Structure 1
Amino acid sequence: MTGMNRNTGAPISGLDQIVQDIGDVLTTPKGSRVMRRAYGSDLPDLVDRPQNRETAMLLVAASAGAISRWIRNVRVLRCQPAFSADGRGALTLDVLPTGTVNAQTLSLTIPF
């Protein structure tokens, strides 16, 4: 599938398209898209929560669930949140593109 780079307008496909799609679905709050209210994730709502195990589990559920629902051409293999001492967090994802021969695992780190 070919898409458009959100910054340059140039055509993109393959892994670049997957990375952009994952970033888009995770950073879009549910209910913010007109005519597509269910699109997005609960990740933006979890940003200011305490850094504990409960929040970590909610982050995993929100991220993996949104990716599984809205991005059909990948399978989530690992989703692990990490918090730093200064309050920042990052989500490490390992995803496997589906529908291609000899697909390799793609590792992404998404700050939140």
Structure 2
Amino acid sequence: MSTASTEHLTDIDRETGALVQGWDRIKQSIFVILTTRLRTRLMRLWWGSKFLDMQDKPGNQEVLMAGMMAAIAAINTYEPEFKVTRVTIDDFGPDGDITITIEGVDLVDATLKRVRNTI
């Protein structure tokens, strides 16, 4: 029987090199998970998501649903401190930019959080 951690993981901020923890680390992790294509990391070929596979495809309902499902599956698999409850694709631009809002529960703090990214 596993017990929930009472302390957030610590990581390194991708832009500043400073230590990052809590919600800032989770937001960074979600962004990295969604922007890493599967089989692109040499030592972790299994890590990443199929979310970016929806770029350069028509913005129909089937593609949007596949993208949302890919985001949910990848985040729930690779981010141990966050459980996705809702994903929405807010904008699917002609230039390939995808704006996504992800809602879920921070499992350490037991609080509802929301992050919006343009990828």
User: Normalization by structure 1: what TM-score?
Assistant: 0.90
Paired residue total: 110
- CA shift in 2, pair 1:21/1:86, >3 Å: same
RMSD: 1.5
Unaligned 5+ segments in structure 2 are 1-8
Q: Which has the higher contact order (CA 8 A, sep 6+)?
A: 2
Residue 72 of structure 2 is matched in structure 1 by: 64
- What runs of 5+ residues in structure 1 fail to find an aligned partner? none
**Which residue pairs with 1:34 in the alignment?**
42
Contact 2:54 2:64 in 1 (8 A): no
Identity %: 28
What's the counterpart of residue 95 of structure 1?
A: 104
* Poorly superposed stretches of 4+, deviation over 6 Å: none
Q: Paired residue for 1:104, among 74, 89, 111?
A: 111
Whether contact under 8 Å (2:13, 2:19) holds in the other structure is: yes
Matched position secondary structure for 2:111: coil
Q: CA deviation at 1:70?
A: 0.5
CA deviation vs aligned residue, 1:29-53 (integer Å, no higher than 9, x gap): 0000011101000111111110110
Give the corresponding residue for 1:51.
Answer: 59
Question: 2:47 corresponds to which letter in structure 1?
Answer: Y
Which deviates the most, 69-78 or 79-88?
A: 79-88
1:84 Cα offset (Å): 5.2
* Aligned position for 2:5: none
